[in-house]
A and B are shown apart, each in its own frame.
Chain A
């Protein structure tokens, strides 16, 4: 097959959106299926359609990536719809990430949802959220970024509150919704201020206008940028907009916690990377790089320390995901140092690995919820003797999250910190490394509980949910192999990141 098959002169340009379209159409198809027979009791069909849809999106994104669609090797980024959407290496990279996390989550949900109502709605909401994320990655205009962010967020609110008989879930959904609505308002106001100062919503135009003379409006633009940053901090669960995250992740169904803490967070980063790097020059009104440096340090430190004090595994994972947002922020915080593509790409690669290891960890929690064995570290004691395979997978996730070699998490963190050092921000890397070493403490508590502790009470595991197991094991394999086994992953990420630098 011709490696540059999907070029403008061979296929219509809009087909470059195929990964996002595949996700959206699958969501619609699920709704259609549900309306044909609302009482359909064949969850396998719904889960199957959702899985096939997300795998199709993954396949398309992967194919485009390897074919070089929208990348410098083949005429550069494909810009669509009055420049509002852009498909380039970074968009495709993130779309592949979202699609793979979505696939994991829908496969795992098949068992998790077995006894619950509204399955079609559940899958459809997941697919719509994923569509929103895919569009976030491709947004080239502040307006599209906002709409896509809302498209990703609204289904998420509903998904968090999906266990409607569980007061924790409903409360979490409400909190998430209220804070989300507030931050959306802040974000929208920020956009309008930027628009007021620059007269454009398209990122390249904004960049140009901000670089030129703003005739006294640079203060307005600075406040706008600050507010936009606030919106992203919410979406990525970065300090100081992180309060919702532990509540929401804890209350939500565990597969959704995984989905939110990896895919949704990565989507926040995708749009933040693009908006800040291609839209806002560094030296205008506000030094947003400094802002992200502060955010990165505070976020990773606070997330890690809070995670260390938790008694429940799910809450620990929630706080640790705040810590990881701090690592990913290094991508933005260090990108001005002349090694921008490398460190930004390393951030993307970290988010990709994180997508597997963190989703996997939450899926393991889902497995435990399924078995009804409680949520604290002590409840997990001795689980390895009953479920060795899943425990091996969980061990892989924990050690990878802590950054031990030879797992993917070690490599992605290393590339990230090395990129920061290369860019001259060695103190950022040092804070990251120290945090990373500390995190081993609480991650290894899970491992200790699983393997070393004796069970406090006799428990019988109710069966082996095949799909959930498959998803957990697959995520573990991906965590081990993704970076060390496939060097092109990091190379793709770095070249994609380098391409969006101004």
Chain B
């Protein structure tokens, strides 16, 4: 029942905060958001499940109740976690709390609504990562869009309305495409349930029948492509990434943190669960794998190049997300233990590091009211602690050892290099590794120009040190990043455990 309690409590907290007076809303929201953190850590401490939840593995904290039965299909309240979802649940709760703290300074209008929506989004994110019934999952998946729409549209920058609507329409149409792809599978399976484990097992038992002239193999391909397209928008993968910079740049800092830290992971999590776990025989077709790997490499390089071209610190971090998520896709399509494991690990690592980067840029913006690289220099003199953390975070992004990013990228490269699925895998891997060089390039370049040298600021604001509550979340994130980098086993063991069955289906190596 702990998952229900977590989701229910967070919804309730959202409601309470929504009704609270503006002065207390931020503090109250933070206090209330600590309970989900404790709850998710408690889940982690008591986690004893093995295998993949979708492939007959045991599921922790499982609840399965009938919800309604319609037209021969049973909808269920079916939640639980395995080694893939638990790290993301922990990430969601921790990052939500920190994002709420980081909102204390920049958010100064309609606070109670803002924090209420943040908690509402957190509740739905928890639902996305724990739901094991497609219908339930889809409800949570779509319900994330609504608070995000308002969070960008009401509290965002000058072009917030455009960004909010673009985000909403893009991702909603993507959801529809994905939904239709998935339904094409369900309607042609003799399962009569939307439970993801049942569907996965039926698919792998070869129970799929054809549909209006499509044989099962083609139908699978169609469904795979349609789901991939839907999730690719969420991730986002080049060329479906154009909503992301708009949304990121216009969104207020805490919302960017959630967007990059957790929302993008919904896409990769869903790709892993739906495309790569349910339809491994499509994902491993040489042509499909080559196309996906190519898309991944293009995302890595192109995203990084775009970041290199930006003048706005926030845009730099935003585009770099496109690049980092490209690694995740490459790891997934590699179909090796290290590849998929590394990809899952990268979801968490990138969540922490991109959250850290966005927050740090936000802190600088709070103080200077500009994000343009050309407008400032020498910030290190005035904001030594923030600068230190930002540089540490940037090192994490570049993949310096003993940081979470290094571990994740190392696993991914190792896994992708050894992949038997991607044709000429070493080539793709080598190409994607150029991304690291560009990342180091744009981050060092931006740091160099904004943080070091003579102090100069082309803005009328008095620069002061950031408040304790602005810097504290940065420090927490940095500690988490280092902890995961030093001891990836914290999550990697349970991840490996959950992805082994997926890899075993394909017969890929470690």
Contacts and interface: CB of A to CB of B under 8 A. Distances in A.
Nearest to A406: B139
B143 A421 contact: no
B243 to A, nearest CB: 15
Contacts of A447: 149
Given A406-B143, A444-B165, A448-B161, A342 B71 contact: yes
A349 to B, nearest CB: 9
A404 B146 CA distance: 9
A201 to B, nearest CB: 34
A442 to B, nearest CB: 12
A444 B173 CA distance: 14
Nearest to A404: B142
A273 B59 CA distance: 46
Interface string A444-463: 10011001110000000000
Interface stretch (A33-41, A95-103, A181-189, A433-441): A433-441
Contacts of B160: 452
B214 to A, nearest CB: 11
A415 B70 CA distance: 7
Nearest to B212: A426
B173 A487 contact: no
Interface string B139-162: 100110110011001100000110
A422 B146 CA distance: 30
A17 to B, nearest CB: 31
A170 B172 CA distance: 41
B143 A441 contact: no
Interface string A399-436: 10000111000100001001101100010001001001
B176 A437 contact: yes
A205 interface: no
Interface in B305-360: none
Interface in A101-139: none
A444 B71 contact: no
Contacts of A433: 176, 180
B69 interface: yes
B143 A419 contact: no
B337 to A, nearest CB: 35
A446 to B, nearest CB: 13
B172 A437 contact: yes
A490 interface: yes
B69 A448 contact: no
B169 interface: yes
B168 interface: yes
A414 to B, nearest CB: 8
A491 B69 contact: yes
Contacts of B70: 342, 346, 415, 418, 490-491, 494
Contacts of A342: 70-72
A339 interface: yes
Given A421-B187, A422-B187, A433-B176, A339 B71 contact: yes
B434 interface: no
Given A406-B139, A451-B154, A437 B173 contact: yes
Nearest to B138: A405
A453 B69 contact: no
Given A415-B70, A437-B172, A491-B69, A451 B150 contact: yes
Interface in B171-214: 172-173, 176, 180, 183, 187, 212
B1 interface: no
B142 A421 contact: no
Contacts of A491: 68-70
B67 interface: yes
B71 A494 contact: yes
B153 A448 contact: yes
Nearest to B143: A406
B461 interface: no
B164 interface: yes
Nearest to A430: B180
A406 B145 CA distance: 11
A418 B183 contact: yes
A453 B154 CA distance: 8
A121 B176 CA distance: 47
A426 B180 CA distance: 11
A422 B142 contact: no
A490 B176 CA distance: 23
Nearest to B168: A444
Nearest to A419: B71
Nearest to B177: A437
A490 B173 contact: no
A440 B71 contact: no
B251 to A, nearest CB: 13
Contacts of A426: 212
Contact of A418 (B71, B142, B154): B71
B73 interface: yes
Contacts of B68: 487, 490-491
Contacts of B165: 444, 448
Interface string B70-89: 11110000000000000000
B36 to A, nearest CB: 20
Given A406-B143, A452-B153, A453-B161, A418 B168 contact: no
Given A418-B183, A451-B154, A487 B172 contact: no
A98 B300 CA distance: 57
A190 to B, nearest CB: 33
B172 A452 contact: no
A361 to B, nearest CB: 17
B161 A404 contact: no
A421 B183 contact: yes
19 contacts: A342-B71, A346-B71, A404-B142, A404-B146, A404-B172, A406-B139, A406-B142, A415-B71, A421-B183, A426-B212, A444-B165, A451-B150, A451-B153, A452-B150, A452-B160, A452-B164, A487-B68, A490-B70, A491-B69
Interface of B: 67-73, 138-139, 142-143, 145-146, 149-150, 153-154, 160-161, 164-165, 168-169, 172-173, 176, 180, 183, 187, 212
Across chains A and B, which 9 residue pairs bring their CB atoms closest together, nearest first? A487-B68, A405-B139, A452-B153, A342-B71, A406-B139, A405-B142, A437-B176, A452-B161, A415-B70
Given A440-B172, A452-B150, 11 more contacts: A339-B71, A405-B142, A418-B183, A421-B183, A426-B212, A444-B168, A448-B165, A453-B161, A484-B139, A490-B68, A491-B68
